[in-house]
Structure 1
Amino acid sequence: MAWVDETRLDDVEALGALDSRDTLRSLASAGAQVRRAVVAAEEAGIERVGGGERPRSVLVAALGGSAVVGDVLDLLAEPGSPVPVSARRDAPLPGWVGPLDLVVAVSQSGRAAGPLALAAEAARRGASLLTVGAADSPLAEVAARARGVHVDVALPAPSSRTALWSLLTPVLLAADTLGLAACSRTVLESVADVLDEVAEECRPSSESFVNPAKVLATGLDGTVPVVLGDGALTGVAACRAAQMLSRTARVPATHGALPDAAASVVATLDGPFGSGLGDHRGSGGDIFADPYLDGPAVPRLGLLALRDPALEPAGASLAEAVVEAARASGAVVLEQEARAGHPVERLASLIGLTDFAATYLALGLGLDPSVSRHVTDLRDRTS
């Protein structure tokens, strides 16, 4: 069962006509977002975060396409941070937050209700505040009144999904300044280079058989995707990839990270999208199958395994066992290994690629990656 029009994926003009808000161009600017955000953060006085002193705790307020900011900071801080890091998407602000704590509120528009309410309450309690979002926005005003630090979004983008690196970079610089995670300007320059390399490989003019993002998009076509990370770092990338597949490509996707998700993923191989029920209409096993008499073909399970080259041998062995089981069951299996380097470089290589893949999948399906009529309708119903 194939729905993607591969000829469209190799037609640069057709892609541009369908991509009404230049999503591909925004994704290609990820490296530039990092560089511009570093400058914007330094100009905003990022060294003043928390009054220059290490806070008792850090809480990240972000939701939707920005929520991954909290996941990344938690991932980097967990191994050696001297203070706890947590994430929150909406009010109320936890009761323990007070003057000794730092609240980081992230919203591209500076108007998202959850982060805005959390930032305002944090300011009322006297907590230190770092905000990242649009200039002259309500979020920026809250930071100004609280004498916090506000970093303007460095480059315009059609959505928070495509502005990720403008939102994440200042938070990583703040974490480095406070000694929560090692992510210096030098590291971020390398991250920008990695994102530039991914953008070059995944450019629209690169043909489907050599473009890694288009290869992933066509590979996931007609499947029920499960994105699996082989560890904590790739688990964050898997969560982001599943969100992009659902929100951008409009393909329902689930995600997990090993070791916890091993049994859950393998169990699905027995289900209706695996081989356990004996129905192979979607696998191409019965060449005489009649879709009118036998019903439509059943989508196959698609496992996208994200691999970390720095993973310990035990974790790598478990990941390989899960992948082998999926292949043996007849599932579509795609693997992608992160590039070597600093954890943020490895993460950037996976996020950059899967962001492009989800966008190409949307375009191949004939969908505008930035505009969903049902999301627009939902906003109208709830405004």
Structure 2
Amino acid sequence: MTSLPDDTLLDDAARISAADPEGLLRAAAGAGAQVRATADAAREAGLDRLTGLRPRALVLVTSPGLGPAVAGLLAALLPACPVPVLLADEVPGWIGPLDVVVAHTDDPGDRLLARGVDRAGRRGAAVVLTAPAEGPVAAAAAGNAVLVAPRMPVRPGFGFATAYTAGLLALSALGLLRVDLDAMADELDREAERAHPNHESFVNPAKALALRLAEHTPLLWGLDPVATAVAGNAAQALATHTDLVCDVADYQQAMSRTALHRAAVRATSGGDIFADPDDFDGPATAPPRVLLLAVRADPGDPARRLAAETLPGADLIDPAEEITAADEPTRAAVLALRFDLAALYLGLAAGTAGGSGRYAPATA
């Protein structure tokens, strides 16, 4: 169970810096730069060759690492897609010249993906791939795929914005989704600035989120499909940088998990105004913390109203309340970055992120 040895640590910029010799926070905060660099790289790689295609199927490959989260989010952004969308662990054997494949990997030696990319290319399918520029995967893509290699150094596991941007560009070229990548990059820059280590937790959304998660079992329940997909990426970030175990589900599914939902109701009931909100009478090793995530701006949605009535003390995280002019893909990206940074703050404080240890003791 990840805990903060002292919750004042997050507001000590010098000690945060000392706990982060690998520059993990800086790497995560570069999401906006990743969007811009990926857009440039995709244009140079010829991704616009997809323009006007009407594929038989769109295959989103869920390779280990960030693949499942990126693919799930791209699929969630296409609720009424005129093209069949398939999430697959590997490129399917039936792939053909009328299909489009979108994939991401941080592993240049992913031989399963390399074989799939090679197969898709030989059969004439259009392939959009984000991967390192060297290795078996890149070799399989040579001449057969649009390989969008990072134009700026990106640590393994920190390339969500790169993979997401390439996927959005593919969907845009196919005429399936409209997205303003310049606005997205700007909003990600603003989110990174709000979450800067020099900003204290009461004005820093990532630090505030980290404090809410510490010493709890997070229940990340989405109020719409896009938010639920972002919750999947949040779980990946928390498992990468902390030892927190969390539950991810859309709220309708969460209600079917009756024992866990009852625990969530107890934890958010607020029946005793003098009770410690962290008190929890149940078998869990850590009390649940319910976070209701929303990306689609629809306050009147029945699921959202039901969740608010049933879980009155739950935290609602809704980027639409903060960045009202942004589109859905941008709000999703901002929410994903907030969780990435919160997971890093929590992991650095607990000594579970990267190769660093706990914070050094404060000096007089």
2:292 aligned partner: 305
Separation in structure 2 between the aligned mates of residue 256 and residue 2 of structure 1, nearest angstrom: 22
Closer, same or farther in 2 for the Cα pair 1:317/1:274, shift >3 Å?
closer
Q: Normalising to structure 2: TM-score of the pair?
A: 0.85
1:169 deviates by 0.9
Gaps of 5+ in 2: 268-274, 358-364
Gaps of 5+ in 1: 287-295, 328-332, 374-383
Contact 1:304–1:335 (CA under 8 A) maintained in structure 2: yes
1:88 aligned partner: 88
What pairs up with 1:133-212 in 2 under 5 angstroms? 133-146=131-144, 148-160=145-157, 162-183=158-179, 187-212=180-205
Which of 340, 354, 360 in structure 2 is aligned with 1:370? 354
Pair 1:267 & 2:259 matched: yes
Closer, same or farther in 2 for the Cα pair 1:98/1:334, shift >3 Å?
same
2:272 aligned partner: none
Closer, same or farther in 2 for the Cα pair 1:35/1:94, shift >3 Å?
same
1:212 deviates by 1.3
Contact 1:10–1:205 (CA under 8 A) maintained in structure 2: yes
Separation in structure 2 between the aligned mates of residue 342 and residue 281 of structure 1, nearest angstrom: 38
Which of 306, 314, 337 in structure 2 is aligned with 1:318? 306
1:371 deviates by 4.3
Separation in structure 1 between the aligned mates of residue 88 and residue 2 of structure 2, nearest angstrom: 39
* Runs of 4+ that moved beyond 4 A: 271-275, 280-286
Which of 106, 110, 134 in structure 2 is aligned with 1:108? 106
SS of 2:36 mapped into structure 1? helix
Contact 1:110–1:137 (CA under 8 A) maintained in structure 2: yes
Closer, same or farther in 2 for the Cα pair 1:2/1:114, shift >3 Å?
closer
SS of 2:70 mapped into structure 1? helix
1:347 aligned partner: 332
**C-alpha offsets along residues 137-181 of structure 1, whole Å, 9 cap, x if unaligned?**
3222212142x2111113212222x21111221221121111122
Q: Aligned residues, how many? A: 343
Contact 1:208–1:215 (CA under 8 A) maintained in structure 2: yes
Contact 2:222–2:294 (CA under 8 A) maintained in structure 1: yes
Separation in structure 1 between the aligned mates of residue 351 and residue 123 of structure 2, nearest angstrom: 49
* Percent of pairs with identical residues: 33
1:74 deviates by 0.8
Closer, same or farther in 2 for the Cα pair 1:269/1:143, shift >3 Å?
closer
2:342 aligned partner: 357
Separation in structure 2 between the aligned mates of residue 372 and residue 115 of structure 1, nearest angstrom: 32
Closer, same or farther in 2 for the Cα pair 1:97/1:69, shift >3 Å?
same
Which of 248, 252, 255 in structure 1 is aligned with 2:248? 255
Letter in 1 for 2:140: V
